[in-house]
Amino acid sequence: MTLDTTTPGADATQRAAPAIHLKDPALYINRELSWLEFNRRVLEEALDARHPLLERVKFLAIFSSNLDEFFMIRVSGLKDQTTSAVVDLPPDGLTPDETIRRIRATVLPMLQEQRRCFSREIMPQLAAAGIHISHYIDLAEEERDRLRVYFQAEILPVLTPLAFDPGRPFPHISSPSLNLGVTVRNGRGEERFARIKVPPSLPRLLPTHDVSRFVWLEDVIAANLGVLFPGYEVVEAYSFRVIRDADIEIQDDEAPDLLATIEQGLRQRRFGPVVWLAVDAEMPERMVKFLMEKLEVNPEDIYALQPPLGMGSLWALATLNRPELRDATFAPAVLPALRDVKTADELFAAIRKQDILLHHPYDSFQPVLDFVNAAAIDPHVLAIKQTLYRVGRNAPVVRALLEAQRNGKQVAVLVELKARFDEESNIGWARALEAEGVHVVYGLVGLKTHSKVTLVVRREEGGLRRYLHLATGNYNAVTAGIYTDLGLLTCDAELAADATELFNTVTGYSTQTYFRSLLVAPGGMRERVEALITREIEHARGGRGGRLIFKMNSLVDDRLIRALYRASQAGVQIDMLVRGICCLRPGLPGVSDNIRVISIVGRFLEHSRIYYFENGGSPEIYMGSADLMPRNLDRRVETLFPIKDARIRAYIRDAIMEVELANNVRARELQPDGSYVRVQPRPDEAAVDSQAWLLDNPSLGGRGAAFRR
Residue 214: name the closest of 280, 127, 154 by CA.
127
Q: How far apart are CA 634 and CA 640, in angstroms?
A: 14
Kindly give, in sequence order, each residue whose CB lies less than 8 Å from that of residue 676, ignoring residues fewer than 6 positions away: 37, 40, 41, 599, 668, 669, 670
Task: Mark whether 450 is an active-site residue.
Answer: yes
Residue 177: name the closest of 163, 195, 150 by CA.
195
Cβ atoms of residues 341 and 347 within 8 Å: yes
Q: What does pTM read for this prediction?
A: 0.92
Counted residue by residue, the chain has a size of 709
> Domains, the chain, ranges and CATH?
131-250+272-322 (3.30.1840.10), 336-507 (3.30.870.10), 519-696 (3.30.870.10)
Cβ atoms of residues 37 and 31 within 8 Å: no
> What is the torsion angle, in degrees rounded to the nearest 10, for the CA atoms of residue 310, residue 311, residue 315 and residue 321?
130
Kindly give, in sequence order, each residue whose CB lies less than 8 Å from that of residue 230, ignoring residues fewer than 6 positions away: none
Name the helix (H) or strand (E) containing 488. Answer: strand 483-490
Three-state secondary structure call for residue 580: coil
Crossing angle for the helix pair 96-116 and 53-70, to the nearest 10 degrees: 160
Strands 620-624 and 547-552: unpaired
Identified catalytic residue from 51, 359, 450, 607: 450
From residue 135, how far is each of 181, 215, 221 by CA, in Å?
Answer: 19, 6, 12
Q: How far apart are CA 400 and CA 370, in angstroms?
A: 9
Q: In this structure, which amino acid lies at residue 558?
A: D
R_g (Cα) of the chain, nearest Å:
28
3-state secondary structure 318-342: HCCCCHHHCCCCCCCECCHHHCCCC
What is the structure's pLDDT at 364? 96
Question: DSSP string of 271-322?
Answer: TSPEEEEEEETTS-HHHHHHHHHHHT--GGGEEEEPSPP-GGGGHHHHTSS-
From residue 178, how far is each of 196, 238, 509 by CA, in Å?
Answer: 9, 11, 47
Q: What is the mean pLDDT of each run of 10 residues along the chain (709 residues)?
A: 38 54 96 98 96 97 96 89 80 95 97 97 96 92 92 95 80 88 93 94 89 92 94 96 72 44 47 88 96 93 96 93 95 93 96 98 96 97 91 84 93 74 62 80 76 96 96 93 97 97 83 87 93 98 96 98 98 98 97 98 96 97 96 92 98 97 97 97 94 96 92
